[in-house]
A and B are shown apart, each in its own frame.
Chain A
Amino acid sequence: MTGPPLVTVRNLTKLYPVRRSAFGRPTGALRAVDGVTFDILPGETLALVGESGCGKTTVGRTILRLVEPTAGDVRFDGVDVRALEREALRRMRRQMQLVFQDPHASLDPRMRAGALIREGIEAHRLAEGAAADARVARLLEEVGLRATDAARYPHEFSGGERQRIAIARALAVEPRFVVLDEAVSALDVTVQAHVLALLAELRRARGLTYLFIAHNLAVVERVATRVAVMYLGRIVEIAAAERLYASPRHPYTQALLSAVPVPTPGARTRRILLTGEVPSPTAPPSGCAFHPRCPHPGRDVECTRTVPPLEEVEPAQLAACIKIRRKPSAGNESSHPSPVARP
C-alpha cells in the first residue's frame, strides 16, 4: 500500500438548506458534512463509522458525485471529480461503484439477475452478445452464485444472495474503487460473515480499494485497514484499525467502542455511558461539537469555543480534541502535519 492516494478528500462540506420561514425561504442549514479531510490509499479498506446522521453516507455519495458538495475538493486518481463534465463523469463512474444496504430496494424487481449485471457491461460497451453472457456467468460464479441464476428474479433470492448480485453488478464494470454503504448491515450474522469473506476475497483478487461505511464497529474491525470515526459531520479520529481499536484516543471513539455489547458473559468491565443524544446538525454545538456529551475529565470552557483541529496524537493516529496530551513529536513529520495517517 504505497504510492499516491487513490482518493483525496479535502475540506469537504455539504450543507442542506432548511426551510423554516413562512415563505419557504431557507433560514438555516443542516451541516451534513463539515470540513472533512482524508485520503484513501490504493488497495486499502478505509472504514467510515459513526452513528446515524453523522454524515458518513453523505461523504460516500459526495466522492461519487451522486451528491454535489457545497465546498471542498475530491480527487480520484489525481482527477478533480467536481470539475468533470457529463461524458468524463460517466467514464469516471465506471471506476467508482456503490453497493447499498438494501439490495431489495436497489435491484429492479422486474429485471432478471443476468440483465441487472449486464446493464453496466453494455452501458460502458465492455462486451456484447455472447461475450457479455459469458461475463455475467463468470461474475455470478465469482460472487458464489451459479451461472444459471442469471435467469432468476431478485425476489427468488435470499437477502444474502441479493447482496451478492448487487456486488456482481458493481463489479461488472471493473471498478477500481467501491463504496460499500452499510452493505452487510441488514444481513443475519452467518450470512454477513460469508459476504464479508467474499468482499475480502474480491479485494485481494481484483486489487480493489474500498470505502466501507458502517455503524457496527465489530463488523468494521473484521475488514478495515484504517478507520475514520465521524461525529456531527466531522472526523474526530482516524487511525490504522489495530491502533484505533487497541488505543482509541478521542473521548467519542472511546465511548463508542465501550458501548458495543460484548458477546461474552461477564466480560464487560466498564462502560462509558454518554448522556443525551446526538444534537441536531441544524444547530451543532459551538467549538467541539461533542462537548455537551463529552466525558473527558479535562473538558472546560475552552472546548465550547475552539473547533479542535484533527492532529496527530500518535504516529499515524489523528484525533480532534484539544484535551488529548500529545506525545513529544518524533520530529520529521511535525513540520507539515499530514491530513492523513499513513499506515
Chain B
Amino acid sequence: MRPVAADEIESLAIGAWILGTGGGGSPYLALLNMRQLYRKGVVCRLMDAAELADDDLVAVVSNMGAPLVGQERLTDPKTMALAVTMMEEYLGRKFHAVMSLEIGGGNSIQPFMAAAMLDLPVVDGDCMGRAFPEAQMTSFAIHDLRMYPLTLADVRDNAVVVARAASWKWMERISRKACVEVGSIASTCKAPRTGKEIKECAILGSTTKAIGIGRAVQAARRAHRDPIDAVLEVAAGVKIFSGKIQDIARRTTEGFLRGTATIEGLDDFRGHTFSLAFQNEFAVGWLDGLPRVMTPDLICVLDTVSGDAIGTETLRYGQRVTVIALPAPPILLTPKGIEHVGPRAFGYDLDFRSVFA
C-alpha cells in the first residue's frame, strides 16, 4: 500500500481518458473533486490486490449515466460514498477497499472520491481495462461471478438496491431504468467482491498503467517530444492511422451513441481512408474498406498535436487525429472474453483478429 500524490491523480486523468477508447466520460470533473479534496489534506492510498486477504470485501464503484448530464449535474464524492455505505448497510458488512469498475474515463477517479470520504484504500485495478458501455462487458461477467446486489444513489437522497437480477443483461436493464428515472446520472456500487475474486478475476495494475500513460504524455509535452510516440512506447501500442476527420455520422439507438467517423489520411497515410465505427467507445476501424482494428483491442483517437484523447461525443469535422491501438487485457482475448466484448457483441459480423497477434 502506498500514498498517491496529487500529481499522480493528474496523470491518471490523462491516461484514463486515453484508455477510455472514446467513451467513459471525461475525467475532468472527478479530477476537480480530487484537487479540492487534496487541498483539504486528503491523501488516498493505492494497494496491490495481493495485499487483500481472500475474504476481504471490495466495493466496485462507478458513476452511471449520460456524460452530457454529468456536465450539468457535475459529480460529487458524497453521493459516490453514499452508494458504498448503502451497500455496507444492506450487507451488514464493512468494505476493506474500493476499486474502479472501468479504468477508461471518469470512472477511473470515482473510487478515489469514495475512498477519500470513507478513508479506504483503492485497489490498483478494474474489471474492464478500458471503457465499455454495458455491465456484462467486464472481466467479472466473463468469469461468471454473481452480478448482484447493486446500489444506486442520486444526489437528492434517492437510492435503489437491486437485490437480485437473473443475468448481467437484466442487471443492466434494471439499473439503467432506475438511473434514467433519477435524471440519467447516479453513483453506483456494483456487486461486492471478495479479495479472492479480485485477485483471480479483476484486471490488475490498470490504475498504475493509466498513471504511467498520463505521466509519459506530460513528460513528452514538457520536453517538446511527440506525446503520441510516448503513449505508444509506454503502453506497447501501435500507430494505426493519422489524418483529418472528413465526416461524422451519429445516431442513438437503444441508448447507445452509434456512428462512424471517416478520416482522410495525412503524411504517411496520404491517399488512404480510415473509417471508424463507435458505440459510445470506438469499436471497429477499417483501412480502405478492410477491417484493420477491432474491439477488444483498445482503439484510441488522439489529437495529433497535443496527444489529448478525443471522445466519441467530441469528434468534429476537421480535427487532426491519430488512431492508435493498445493491447487488451488477456482475459478479454479468451474465447469467452471475445463472446462478451468482441466485434459480434457490438453487432459486427467479424472474426476477432488482434492487431497484436
The answer to whether A and B belong to the same complex is no
B residues whose Cβ falls under 8 Å from a Cβ of A: none
A residues whose Cβ falls under 8 Å from a Cβ of B: none
